[in-house]
Amino acid sequence: METATFGAGCFWGVQAAFDRIPGVLETAVGYEGGTLERPSYREVCTDRTGHAEVVQVRFDPAKVSFTSLLDTFFQEHDPTQLNRQGPDHGTQYRSVVFYHSPEQQQQAQAAIARLQQEKRFSRSIVTQVVPASTFWPAEEYHQKYLEKRGAVSCHI
């Protein structure tokens, strides 16, 4: 089993997208990349802790590749928007891949280069590729938020 961590704006819809992928064993939403220990949603929303809203994905690499997870990541948000997604803005909504190995770092950087070369987006990709740090799980009411409400997506 391997772990991948992605920040792509509001974590609810991103979690739902990863949950639909065969080979994904579990997902959890939370916060990563900031300075405060055990941050709460309320603290992260101040845009002062440095954390991003993220989805941590545990997956079986024999059933789904990290590259396939990257494809989903880039399909689920606009990686050209700096510190925002749609109406949500602030550094907590930044586009970021927190890599857990040198291979993940290389694959994420290669995916960005490929998408730029293909001109898939009209603007430059601003996705950060940074080492994984401490993942702080979000409050229970955020976990599987859309599933608990019978929703499939929260995209606008």
pLDDT at 12: 85
pLDDT at 152: 61
In CATH, the number for domain 2-148 is 3.30.1060.10
Query: In Å, what is the CA distance from 90 to each residue of 9, 62, 95?
Result: 9, 36, 11
Q: CA–CA separation, 137 vs 122, rounded Å?
A: 34
pLDDT at 6: 98
Q: Which positions of the chain have pLDDT values less than 70?
A: 145-146, 150-156
Positions marked active-site: 10
pLDDT at 151: 63
